[in-house]
Amino acid sequence: MTRDHPLRPWLDHQADRIEQLCQAHRVPVQVQGGVVTPRLVRFHLALSPRVSLKRLDALQEDLALALNAPSARLSRSNGTLALEVPRPQPAGISLVRLQAMLPALPGDTALLGRDEEGTPLLLRLSAPEVTHLLIAGTTGSGKTALARSILASLALANDPDDLRLLLIDPKGHGFGVFAGLPHLLAPPVRQESEALRRLEWLVQEMEWREGQRVRAPIVVVGVDEVADLVAQEPRVGELLTRLAARGRESGLHLLLSTQKPTAEAIGSLLRSNLPCRLTGRVLSAQDAVVATGIKRSGAERLLGRGDFLLVSGGEALRFQAAYISAEEIGVMVEMFEQELVQAEAAHPLLVPRREGKVIAFPGGWIKRVAALVSAAL
């Protein structure tokens, strides 16, 4: 924390209250600086070596009350112990503006938001510890909004010839905003029978790619409320399990969201093939273990509205998800469609890529779309 930070008086006052409350409970700690993020303040703590961490852990509710905060969460990262509390007047993170500030992203990489240090957080789908994503959280956690941001980030970084999206949206309120995006293999799917047909085709595509050793273009399958879909059509779960087990080598990746990430809800084999978890707020510590796959993650103490944990390799990293509104997605789709018309005019002998057909897009058009979207907002 810098001396000229506008929150400095509040930060100093809160640091004093942390030390005073802990001293009153005979758990001496010192606040040794910290970090202010868009949604949180992380107070770095030095705990006396004579005191068990469990005693400090038991004071989380007392600390939240003393700091007049809705919640307080202890975390450990790279040997640093921190107490995380919501900051007053939290700031949002715009996906479009943040992505426009960054260098061009690799084609298989999505922008998630900002981590605890305020650094842009990127996620590479082809990394072995990622491959497929499971987004979990209760209502209000922001899981559908995060899925939208990931999909929009990938679209802004890729030509439709390099990235294809298959979006399955049983309830019709998650991915319908992407209708018309030229990256789509088909309009967003709502019916279980249509989802089944599309996934059967994709499994055949995966098997063909395996035989031909083909990995391009990248295909991302987004499914909103996957547990509900699997409950309605169990064969969907079987097909998703096959894609999860073998899709990476063929350039196929899953992006699944659900309120119920249990093995009973989505299938134990499918769940075991989802190594990367993006977990929002859950209702209890037990739900946190189910959602993250690790103990003491603190997911039950998250703030909701885009406050997430990235869990991979048994480690958890807290981040604030970047946000893109339905209106912004609409602008993005419109800009893509305009560029597509211009591309067709420049190459009249080629046709758009619909159901396997291909158009050659002029170089740099993706950057122009991103710039146009940013300027229009």
Domain with CATH 3.30.980.40 in the chain: 8-86
For the segment 235-269, what is each residue's pLDDT rounded down to a tens digit? 999 999 999 999 999 999 999 999 988 888 888 89
pLDDT of residue 376: 56
pLDDT of residue 201: 94
Cβ pair 93, 308 in contact under 8 A: no
Using alpha carbons, list the distances in angstroms from residue 97 to 35, 76, 104, 192.
22, 30, 13, 36
Chain centroid offset of residue 219 CA: 17
pLDDT in tens, 83-126: 999 887 777 899 988 988 888 888 899 999 998 778 899 999 99
Q: Which fold has domain 95-326?
A: Rossmann fold (3.40.50)
Q: What pLDDT digit, counting tens, does each position of 48-61 carry?
A: 888 888 899 899 99
Query: Could you give the strand order of the β-sheet that contains 73-77, starting from the edge strand earlier in sequence?
Result: 29-36, 40-47, 80-86, 73-77
Residue 168 has pLDDT above 60, yes or no: yes
CA distances from 344 to 152, 336, 352, 356, 369 (A): 23, 12, 7, 16, 16
> How many whole angstroms separate alpha carbon 257 and alpha carbon 79?
32
Q: Which of 333, 323, 358 is nearest to 343 (CA)?
A: 358
pLDDT digits (tens, 9 = 90+) for 328-346: 999 999 888 887 777 666 6
Summarize pLDDT for 345-374 with one digit per residue, the tens: 665 544 444 344 333 444 454 555 556 566
| Domain 8-86 listed as CATH 3.40.710.10 | no
- Which pTM value belongs to this model? 0.81
Q: Does the pLDDT of residue 140 top 60, yes or no?
A: yes
The residues of the chain that CATH labels 3.40.50.300 are: 95-326
Contact assessment for residue 280 and residue 141, using Cβ atoms and an 8 Å cutoff: yes
**282-335 residue pLDDT tens:** 988 888 898 998 888 889 888 888 999 999 888 889 899 999 999 999 999 988
pLDDT value, residue 5: 61
Share of the chain above pLDDT 90, in %: 52
